[in-house]
Structure 1
C-alpha cells in the first residue's frame, strides 16, 4: 500500500530566472499542480536573487543597474505526496537548487 501523506520540499535558488525555471519544470515536466508550488524571497526584502541574470543583467550599453534588488535567494517550495518526493527532490537538485529540505 502506498503512503498518501503530503510532504513539503523547499529549495533555494540564486536567481529569479532559476526559480522560474524550477517552477516550469515542476508543473510541465512532473505534472504538479501550480497551486501546490510557492515562490518567495528568503529574506525580508523583495528580491530578484543574489546575482544578475536574465532581465536584471546589464546590457552592453549599461555599466550597471540599480533597479534590481539583489538581496536574497529565491525560495521554491512544493507540497507533494510522499510517493513523488524523490522525483521532485532530484529535479530541483538537477536545476541547481541549494539547500533542498524536506519537511
Structure 2
C-alpha cells in the first residue's frame, strides 16, 4: 500500500514539473527573435528536447503542455546557426500557466 501512495505522489509531482517547464518554455519562446544565435537560444531556453538537422539548418523542439497533452515549440535556424523563425504553441504566450493534467 505504501508503494502505491509513493507512486501516486511521484506522478503528481511529475505533472507539476511538466507544467512548470511548459510555462518557462512559453515565456522563453516569446523572447526568441530572428537573428539570435544557437548559443543565445540555448542560454534562454536550455537544451532542446529535439534537434532535427537538415542541409539548410536545424529545428530545435521544446515541449509545451501537460503530461498528457503536449505541443511542440519549434525554433528554426539557418545553416550558419541563426534563428530564422519560431513556432510557439498557440497558448505559448507566457501569460497563462498550462494545467498539469
TM-score normalised per structure 2:
0.29
Looking at both structures, which has the greater relative contact order when contacts are Cα pairs under 8 Å and sequence separation is at least 6?
1
Which has a greater percent of helix?
2
